[in-house]
DNA sequence: CTTACCCCCTGTCCGC
DNA sequence: TGCGGACAGGGGGTAA
């Protein structure tokens, strides 16, 4: 599920519903969820504090609590984080929840249970987030910045885009979609892409993410629910064998860094 | 600095 | 119909 657009949608919805709420207590139902921290530490650090705000950094959701504590949440593959009306009535796949003073709950609902929640002092959260690459939807992400970053790596373009230390937030789907929009072959070594094409890639990244954020925000209108009708239209991802709408060649799949990459052999060179 | 595994989990799909 | 294996939008760790 979650790459930057979905995480942004989840984060916004959570902020709208839970900003200002007081956490009565926190319960970790699956100890591994707070790894490497003990569940007790997260429960203790969250209890009694007020949610000041909720922000996204890369694919992380940061819940800022009163007293300088941050809950850093990562949804990984199947996680979702949302407010439910009654903390006593939770989905089966709840791995951790925060019981709010008004009786509502915030749940980490995660079937595959790969999601993680840690509690950090503000400064430590800051340090960890500083290790992430540039925010692709921020003003600092410019064509020039992408050109600088690309010069530092000879990774295949797709692997580069997925590496959170360069740009944070792109995953398997939107990396492939951005490369398709930019007409760049996913295996091209990043430091060999010409500046003009990197400018095109920059625009493609920003456009695809902005489009997908809008779509994801609508799709997650109801907490914990995904509206199928609002699924973002994917040009190449998961479409092996389909015809490219532009050049009519069949979409191909290849494996890079253990993940599937989809691309159009006609458009992407 | 890379790549190439393995691990963490559950669920689904595909081929035999 | 049943079953084993591959694979799935995440990342961390370790070895080479």
Give the CATH number, domain containing residue A156.
Answer: 1.10.8.50
* DSSP sequence for A150-219: HHT--SBHHHHHH-TTTBSS--HHHHHHHHHHHT--TTSBGGGS-HHHHHHHHHHHHHHHHHHHHHHHHH
Q: Which DSSP letter does residue A21 get?
A: P
Encode pLDDT of A215-235 as tens digits: 999 888 777 777 766 778 999
User: Residue A103's domain is classified under what CATH number?
Assistant: 3.20.190.10
| A269 domain residue, yes or no | no
Cα A36 to chain centroid, rounded: 21
Chain C positions with a protein C-beta closer than 7 Å = 7-12
Please answer whether residues A77 and A112 qualify as being in contact, where contact means their C-beta atoms are separated by less than 8 angstroms: yes
Encode pLDDT of A197-206 as tens digits: 999 999 999 9
Strand partners, A23: A100
> Stated in angstroms, how far is A121 CA from C6 C1'?
41
| A137 domain residue, yes or no | no
State which residue has its Cα closest to the C1' atom of B2.
A155
Helix (H, G, I), strand (E, B) or coil at A139: coil
Nucleotide nearest to A36 (CA to C1'): C12
Same domain, A122 and A153: no
Helix (H, G, I), strand (E, B) or coil at A55: strand
Same domain, A87 and A150: no
The percent of residues in chain A predicted with pLDDT above 90, rounded, is 91
| A135 domain residue, yes or no | no
Encode pLDDT of A153-179 as tens digits: 999 999 999 999 999 999 999 999 999
As a whole number of angstroms, the distance between CA A97 and CA A89 comes to: 11
Encode pLDDT of A108-163 as tens digits: 999 999 999 999 999 999 999 999 999 999 999 999 999 999 999 999 999 999 99
pLDDT band at A258 (very low <50, low <70, confident <90, very high): confident
Chain B positions with a protein C-beta closer than 7 Å = 1-6, 8-11
> Stated in angstroms, how far is A36 CA from B10 C1'?
21
Look at residue A1 in the predicted model and tell me its pLDDT: 66
Nucleotide nearest to A165 (CA to C1'): C11
Same domain, A169 and A235: yes
Same domain, A167 and A115: no
User: A129, A157, A188 — which closes off a domain?
Assistant: A129
Q: Which range marks the domain in which residue A212 is found? A: 143-263
Q: Which two tokens stand for residue A223?
A: 């907490």
Look at residue A239 in the predicted model and tell me its pLDDT: 92
The percent of residues in chain A predicted with pLDDT above 70, rounded, is 99
Encode pLDDT of A75-87 as tens digits: 999 999 999 999 9
Helix (H, G, I), strand (E, B) or coil at A3: coil
C-alpha distance from residue A164 to each of A58, A67, A129 (Å):
8, 29, 11
């Amino acid at each position: 599920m979650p790459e930057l657009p979905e995480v942004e949608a989840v984060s916004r919805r959570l902020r709208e519903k839970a900003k200002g709420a007081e956490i009565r207590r926190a319960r970790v139902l699956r100890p591994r969820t707070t790894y490497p921290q003990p569940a007790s530490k997260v429960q203790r650090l969250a209890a009694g504090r007020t949610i000041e705000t909720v922000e996204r950094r890369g694919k992380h959701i940061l819940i800022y609590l009163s007293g300088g504590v941050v809950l850093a949440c990562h949804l990984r593959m199947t996680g979702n984080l949302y407010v439910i009306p009654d903390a006593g009535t939770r989905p089966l796949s709840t791995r951790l929840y925060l019981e709010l003073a008004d009786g509502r709950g915030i749940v980490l609902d995660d079937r595959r249970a790969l999601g993680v929640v840690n509690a950090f002092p503000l400064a430590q959260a800051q340090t960890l987030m500083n290790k992430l690459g540039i925010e692709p939807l921020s003003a600092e992400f410019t064509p020039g910045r992408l050109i600088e970053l690309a010069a530092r790596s000879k990774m295949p373009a797709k692997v580069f885009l997925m590496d959170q230390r360069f740009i944070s937030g792109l995953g398997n789907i939107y990396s492939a979609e951005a490369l398709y929009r930019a007409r760049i072959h996913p295996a091209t070594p990043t430091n060999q892409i010409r500046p003009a094409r990197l400018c095109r890639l920059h625009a493609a990244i920003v456009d695809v993410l902005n489009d997908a954020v809008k779509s994801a925000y609508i799709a997650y209108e109801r907490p914990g629910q995904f509206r199928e009708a609002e699924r973002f239209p994917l040009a190449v991802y998961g479409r092996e064998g389909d015809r490219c709408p532009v050049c009519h060649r069949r979409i191909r799949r290849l494996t890079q860094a253990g993940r599937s990459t989809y691309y159009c052999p006609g458009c992407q060179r």
